[in-house]
């Protein structure tokens, strides 16, 4: 699997599948002004719609996107890079537009961890074990689906993809080993296509 392959991020709520690399490249020049990174621009463009879908999904499941849960999810969508729990705490607690955190004070760390647990249970966020950090998930794939993260070591951007053929292949391998997985997450580090295009090596 090439590390410069990017998942197509649909806005229709359907499961995300890998596509040929030629169909999923972003225009690097088009995204200047968003931290100079196509990942940042893409995250910014989809944030509002993804948050609205998250609220609708929670309502449909009878779950509540409380203010702290929403703030954590908003913070994850505010950047293209994975955030640790204390990074989130700093972002949520920092005054913005004259406002502080809930009830005018910084939330407790346990509240952020509980919010992250909720978001992961609802399929709205993922934890990257290699970074001990979290990313938002707008794709709506199933909880047992194999998810692959392509982590760029240059810009810090993370692409997520879910491939049915890859998932089926891994399922077959696990079945032969009589192994029952709790989570199926694959993390691949390297250089993304955006950074390779900007500075070919």
CATH number at 99 reads 1.10.10.10
Residue 72 covered by a domain: yes
Percent of the chain residues topping a pLDDT of 70: 73
169 pLDDT above the threshold of 60: yes
Residue 105 covered by a domain: yes
Residue 59 covered by a domain: yes
Q: Which two tokens stand for residue 39?
A: 């990942």
Residue 14 covered by a domain: no
pLDDT band (50, 70, 90) for residue 19:
very low
**Residues 7-31, mean pLDDT to the nearest whole number:** 35
pTM of the model: 0.69
Residue 74 covered by a domain: yes
Query: Half-sphere exposure of 70 toward its Cβ, with a 13 Å CA cutoff?
Result: 16
Domain that includes residue 61, residue range: 21-198
Higher pLDDT, 72 or 143: 72
160 pLDDT above the threshold of 90: no
Residue 178: the pLDDT is 95
Question: How many separate domains does the chain show?
Answer: 1
pLDDT averaged over every residue in the chain: 76
């Amino acid at each position: 699997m090439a590390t410069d392959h990017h998942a197509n991020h649909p806005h229709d709520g359907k499961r995300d599948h890998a596509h040929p690399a030629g169909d999923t490249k972003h225009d690097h020049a088009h995204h200047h002004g968003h931290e100079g990174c196509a990942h940042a621009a893409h995250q910014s463009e989809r944030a509002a719609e993804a948050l609205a879908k998250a609220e609708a999904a929670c309502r449909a499941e009878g779950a509540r996107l409380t203010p702290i849960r929403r703030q954590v999810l908003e913070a994850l969508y505010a950047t293209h890079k994975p955030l640790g729990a204390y990074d989130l705490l700093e972002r949520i607690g920092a005054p913005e537009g004259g406002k502080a955190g809930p009830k005018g004070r910084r939330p407790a760390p346990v509240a952020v961890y509980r919010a992250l647990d909720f978001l992961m249970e609802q399929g709205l966020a993922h934890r990257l074990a290699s970074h001990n950090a979290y990313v938002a998930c707008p794709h709506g794939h199933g909880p047992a689906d194999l998810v692959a993260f392509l982590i760029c070591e240059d810009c810090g951007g993370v692409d997520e993809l879910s491939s049915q053929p890859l998932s089926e292949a891994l399922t077959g391998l696990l079945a032969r080993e009589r192994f029952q997985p709790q989570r199926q997450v694959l993390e691949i580090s390297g250089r993304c296509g955006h950074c390779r295009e900007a500075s070919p090596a």
